[in-house]
């Protein structure tokens, strides 16, 4: 049986770990509240863009646009949004799992654009090629960050260096439920837009194709922006849950150690007593 001093030392160490995880949980809770509001603010913009693209595609019939055209090849680009810091449970792992679930063979055809150090580290270890890193984007996402990533993938696509662009991020369902998702960005899936109901004919200036030319990049950017914001909210949510269970585990351990400590104390008292009694007996 471990000595009293050992048990005490362990208990103190678990206690201080518990304090840290509890503090981290509180910090994440506060950050989550802010990130959640910010994630919701991006939705009206996205919805409107979505509706406009839908109505252009719907009303102008068979529109030909390079960004809508499916390509044959299988060179894939992934934008991977993870966090810069760990201790967030399965948050980073789940996103990366989606990538190597999809790409069984690691080869030159797969390009990774990483936002978040953790995801970039995990994928590097697996042998993926990281083309560029945008780690600042996941601290406090700004529209400029989304714009930079968006420009990069649009250029890759236009220069015919990739055939499909995906974005892997963590969707924010609620504070306790986040879901790693993968979504296709390019080429746009025209089929996605068909549910929208268009109520009136619309004129376009300069013309429908020109407008579409302007709007599609904005649509891409707004998806990236939304994904960044949702991922940040999810990161804090995931960290909050992870730290909550860590704190609970620490408390359980402290209870167990307290019991062990008391037992050891009791045992040592009993032993001392019996030694004294034994000694007194011997003197008789």
Partner 1 sequence: MADTFKLHIVTPDKAFYDDDVNRVMFKSTEGDIAVLYDHIPLTTTLTSGIAIIYKDNKEITAVLHGGFAEIKEESVTILSDAAEWPSDIDVDRAKAAKDRAETRSREQEEHISQARVNASLMRAMARVDLIEYHKNKSND
Residues in touch with partner 1 (CB under 8 A): 41-42, 44-45, 48-49, 52, 56, 143, 146, 200-206, 210-211, 214-215, 218, 221-222, 225
Phi/psi of residue 172, each to 5°?
A: -100, 105
Distance CA 7, CA 263 (A): 11
Q: Closer to partner 1 at the Cβ: 123 or 212?
A: 212
Q: Closer to partner 1 at the Cβ: 23 or 204?
A: 204
Q: Closer to partner 1 at the Cβ: 68 or 253?
A: 68
* Burial of 219 (C-beta count, 10 Å sphere; 0-12/13-18/19+): buried
CB 75 to partner 1: min, Å: 25
DSSP code, position 200: S
- Tell me how long the chain is: 284
> CA torsion 241→89→112→215, rounded to 10°?
-10
Distance CA 95, CA 109 (A): 20
CB 154 to partner 1: min, Å: 12
Q: Are 182 and 166 in contact (CB under 8 A)?
A: yes
Contacts of 70 (CB under 8 A, 6+ apart): 187
Q: Closer to partner 1 at the Cβ: 45 or 100?
A: 45
Q: Are 115 and 79 in contact (CB under 8 A)?
A: yes
Q: Closer to partner 1 at the Cβ: 204 or 267?
A: 204
Distance CA 137, CA 144 (A): 9
Both tokens of 35, joined, read 């990130």
CB 29 to partner 1: min, Å: 23
CB 181 to partner 1: min, Å: 20
Euclidean distance between the first and final Cα of the chain, in Å? Answer: 33
Distance CA 110, CA 117 (A): 19
CB 194 to partner 1: min, Å: 19
DSSP code, position 192: G
Distance CA 245, CA 190 (A): 43
CB 16 to partner 1: min, Å: 40
Q: Closer to partner 1 at the Cβ: 105 or 203?
A: 203
CB 225 to partner 1: min, Å: 5
CB 41 to partner 1: min, Å: 5
Q: Closer to partner 1 at the Cβ: 155 or 271?
A: 155
Q: Closer to partner 1 at the Cβ: 58 or 117?
A: 58
């Amino acid at each position: 049986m471990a000595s009293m001093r050992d048990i005490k030392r362990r208990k103190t160490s678990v206690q201080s770990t518990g304090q840290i995880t509890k503090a981290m949980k509180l910090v994440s809770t506060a950050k989550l509240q802010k990130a959640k509001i910010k994630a919701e603010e991006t939705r009206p913009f996205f919805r409107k863009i979505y509706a406009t693209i839908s109505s252009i595609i719907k009303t102008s019939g068979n529109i030909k646009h390079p960004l809508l055209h499916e390509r044959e090849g299988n060179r894939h680009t992934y934008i991977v949004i993870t966090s810069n810091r760990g201790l967030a449970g399965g948050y980073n792992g789940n996103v990366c799992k989606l990538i190597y679930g999809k790409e069984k063979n690691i080869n030159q055809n797969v390009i990774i654009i990483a936002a978040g150090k953790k995801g970039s580290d995990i994928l590097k270890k697996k042998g993926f090629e990281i083309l560029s890193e945008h780690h600042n984007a996941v601290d406090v996402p700004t529209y400029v960050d989304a714009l930079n990533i968006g420009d990069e993938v649009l250029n890759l696509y236009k220069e015919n260096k990739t055939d499909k662009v995906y974005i892997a991020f963590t969707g924010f369902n609620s504070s306790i439920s986040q879901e790693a998702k993968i979504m296709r960005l390019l080429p746009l899936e025209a089929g996605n837009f068909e549910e929208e109901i268009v109520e009136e004919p619309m004129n376009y200036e300069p013309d429908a194709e020109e407008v579409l030319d302007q709007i599609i990049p904005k649509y891409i950017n707004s998806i990236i922006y939304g994904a960044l914001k949702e991922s940040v909210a999810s990161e804090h949510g995931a960290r909050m849950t992870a730290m909550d269970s860590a704190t609970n585990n620490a408390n359980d351990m402290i209870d167990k150690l307290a019991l062990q400590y008391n037992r050891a104390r009791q045992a040592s008292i009993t032993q001392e007593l019996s030694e004294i009694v034994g000694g007194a007996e011997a003197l008789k």
